[in-house]
């Protein structure tokens, strides 16, 4: 856990300020202890309770706990019968893990450009990529900001394709009066570190489709009655569920989620107060129709004087002062696998490149203090001068 420092001068010199820090309490410890004292920790009793509670929280008929968000996307594609010879449209601007599940399923990831302001998949650009081979759209609520779900839903319905909502970065955010996780035919959450709801490593698939849910549960893990079956291997499972220990932690975290999100909102306010004093700084963009954004990371977008290399130098300078930071995204089309396997090249998605080159993710979690936020922002400003990009961050 992060400890508080007494002033902004020494806030980052004595204690490493991490990008993420899970918010655990006595409730989580008690929940785990209860499971450890039970004879069986894999019978699924607590996991079912977690699934039921999460389905109620999101407002979906079904919730299926899985080992990660990536596995969640993979199982969703598998349950929908998407694989070899099929195409799935997605954005190359986000954390790369979920998009990589498309290739794991045997399908071809087809990248489309993002909206400059929200950084989410552009429905118009996605529409240009639809072919007779397109079977699904995977759209991400990037860094907590909901995508343009009205247009994406209309596009998916018009094209008769599956709409997968990647909410691995956006728990708690809402769009047009509805919480994220309710917009896709199937929606995916992730509960690994960085997420406000963290239980080590896990994820959740939610859907209202009874048939799809049945298939998802089958592909996730084998049933007790299958242990002695000689035919179960005709429909092999991935053994991709979670233990009751993980579920107990997740259930306790879910019960405290509003408290955790409120702490992060306070940290966001501290950042805004510090950032707003710099020349050219604007508040984070929130698109029309978006009711609330719970940011995944506090990401600032640097000025036009910055390049990817000067942004990386800024990361190095912050690390010297014991502050962890990171580029928010390395666009998929610039990564070797996508260049070699699918022929993408630099310049294919200029908006994604422009935004990614100047994005800087700063520490963001409920344990950060106001003094530490002040130190982080001051250090970032000073470092921008050191790399020759000028004092202003905007």
Over residues 328-337, the pLDDT tens digits come to 999 999 999 9
Beta bridge partner(s), residue 301:
359
3-state secondary structure of 186: strand
Cα–Cα dist 327/352, whole Å = 13
Query: Would the CA dihedral through 165, 167, 171, 176 be positive or negative?
Result: negative
Residue 296 has pLDDT above 60, yes or no: yes
Cα–Cα dist 132/147, whole Å = 24
Q: Are strands 174-175 and 162-166 parallel, antiparallel or unpaired?
A: unpaired
Cα–Cα dist 165/163, whole Å = 6
pLDDT more than 70, % of the chain: 89
Short-list 295, 296, 369, 332, CA closest to 99: 332
Domains and CATH numbers, the chain: 26-255 (3.40.640.10), 257-386 (3.90.1150.10)
Over residues 93-118, the pLDDT tens digits come to 987 788 889 999 999 999 999 999 99
Over residues 356-379, the pLDDT tens digits come to 998 999 999 999 999 999 999 999
Lookup: tokens for 367 = 């344990």
Mean pLDDT lowest among 37-46, 51-60, 94-103 = 37-46
How far is residue 337 from each of residues 82, 155, 340, measured CA to CA in Å?
21, 29, 5
Lookup: tokens for 168 = 């691995």
Query: What region does 200 belong to: left with phi over 0, alpha with psi -120 to 50, or beta?
Result: left
Cα–Cα dist 335/231, whole Å = 41
Short-list 154, 145, 153, 70, CA closest to 115: 145
């Amino acid at each position: 856990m992060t400890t508080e420092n007494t002033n902004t001068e020494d806030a980052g010199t004595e204690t490493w300020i991490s990008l993420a820090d899970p918010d655990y309490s006595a409730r989580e410890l008690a929940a785990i202890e209860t499971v450890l004292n039970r004879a069986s920790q894999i019978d699924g009793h607590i996991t079912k309770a977690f699934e039921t509670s999460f389905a109620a929280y999101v407002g979906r008929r079904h919730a299926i706990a899985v080992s990660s968000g990536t596995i969640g996307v993979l199982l969703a594609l598998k349950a929908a019968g998407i694989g070899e010879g099929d195409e799935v449209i997605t954005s190359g601007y986000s954390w790369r893990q979920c998009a990589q599940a498309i290739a794991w399923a045997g399908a071809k990831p087809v990248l489309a450009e993002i909206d400059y302001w929200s950084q989410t998949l552009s429905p118009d650009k996605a529409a240009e990529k639809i072919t007779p081979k397109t079977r699904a759209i995977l759209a991400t609520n990037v860094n907590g900001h909901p995508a343009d779900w009205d247009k994406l839903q209309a596009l998916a319905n018009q094209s008769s394709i599956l709409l997968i909502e990647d909410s691995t970065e956006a728990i708690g955010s809402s769009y047009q009066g509805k919480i994220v996780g309710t917009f896709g035919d199937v929606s995916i959450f992730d509960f690994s570190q960085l997420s406000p709801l963290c239980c080590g490593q896990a994820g959740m698939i939610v859907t209202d489709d009874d048939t799809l849910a049945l298939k998802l549960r089958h592909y996730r893990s084998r049933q007790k009655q299958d242990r002695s079956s000689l035919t179960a291997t005709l429909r092999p499972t991935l053994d991709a569920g979670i233990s009751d220990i993980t579920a107990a932690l997740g259930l306790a975290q879910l019960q405290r989620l509003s408290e955790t999100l409120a702490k992060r909102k306070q940290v966001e306010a501290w950042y805004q107060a510090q950032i707003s004093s710099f020349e050219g700084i604007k508040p984070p963009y929130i698109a029309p129709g978006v009711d609330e954004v719970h940011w995944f990371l506090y990401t600032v977008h640097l000025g036009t004087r910055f390049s990817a290399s000067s942004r990386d130098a800024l990361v190095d300078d912050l690390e010297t002062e014991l502050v962890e930071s990171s580029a928010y995204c390395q666009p998929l089309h610039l990564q070797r696998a996508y260049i070699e396997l699918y022929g993408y090249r630099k310049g294919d998605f200029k908006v994604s490149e422009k935004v990614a080159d100047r994005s800087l993710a700063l520490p963001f979690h409920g344990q950060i203090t106001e003094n530490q936020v002040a130190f982080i922002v001051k250090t970032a400003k000073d470092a921008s001068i050191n790399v020759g990009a000028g004092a202003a961050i905007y």
